[in-house]
Amino acid sequence: MNKEVISIYAHNLEKRYDSNTIFKGLTVKLEEGDVLAVIGFSGVGKTTLLKILGLLAKPSNGKLYINSIDTARLNNKQLNMLRREYIGFSFQNPIFISSLKVIDNLLLPLLGWRKSQDIIKYKENALELLDYLGLKEFKDYRPYRLSYGQMKRVDLVRAILKNPRILILDEPTANLDEESATRVTELIKRYCDRRRIVIFSVNRDEKLLRIANKRINILDYKD
């Protein structure tokens, strides 16, 4: 993986669905070590912004640069390569392959682009992360046997496992019990200390908010 200094520059982003403007005029610059909290209530557009920054959606207007690369100039294959190389994403409603065990779901995204001898180390790391989040005993479970909160924590492990330069988390502590939310927050904080870019959406979690050195409130970019 490239070790150059990572950066994101979003300039004057706008997202519309038909006549409904989700946000407009949004500009933010992030460099390694930055932690951005995207704030707002449910349905305001936080996930939409995270998907744009994570190259999973395109803005209606504006520019997005990753390491000075104009992402609007990239085709789908190039976008996929850039996302695979740099970005880890944890979703609010994670998706797993139900026929695979938890540990296999974690390792699957690494197959084919990580050396086979490295997979053993990734598996060790996955088990350590599962253990930290109180999930090691579930490593051989099928995902459908997990609770929603357990699936969210497994998805966080999946996002972190490949050690991405950009980590994007959609409400990572939402609907978790206090102990689980604290563990998740501490794990995210540990990852922030690795000089990466971390972006997360949040509504009310003050402990999580304290990690961030930059904040965006989506309501500030409404009509």
CA atoms of 133 and 138, how far apart (whole Å): 11
Domain ranges of the chain: 7-221
pLDDT at residue 1 in the model: 43
The side-by-side arrangement of strands in the sheet containing 87-90 is 87-90, 166-169, 197-202, 35-39, 214-217
Fold of 7-221: Rossmann fold (3.40.50)
pTM of the predicted model as reported, rounded to 2 decimal places: 0.93
Among 38-47, 114-123, 144-153, 199-208, name the one with the lowest average pLDDT.
114-123
CA atoms of 147 and 2, how far apart (whole Å): 36
pLDDT band at 195 (very low <50, low <70, confident <90, very high): confident
Cα separations in angstroms, 113 against 5, 24, 127, 159, 188: 22, 37, 20, 15, 25
CA atoms of 110 and 88, how far apart (whole Å): 12
pLDDT band at 179 (very low <50, low <70, confident <90, very high): very high
Angle at Cα 194 formed by Cα 207 and Cα 168, nearest 5°? 60
pLDDT at residue 122 in the model: 92
Torsion of CA 101, 104, 105, 107, to 10 degrees: 160
Inter-residue contact 18 to 198 (CB < 8 Å):
no
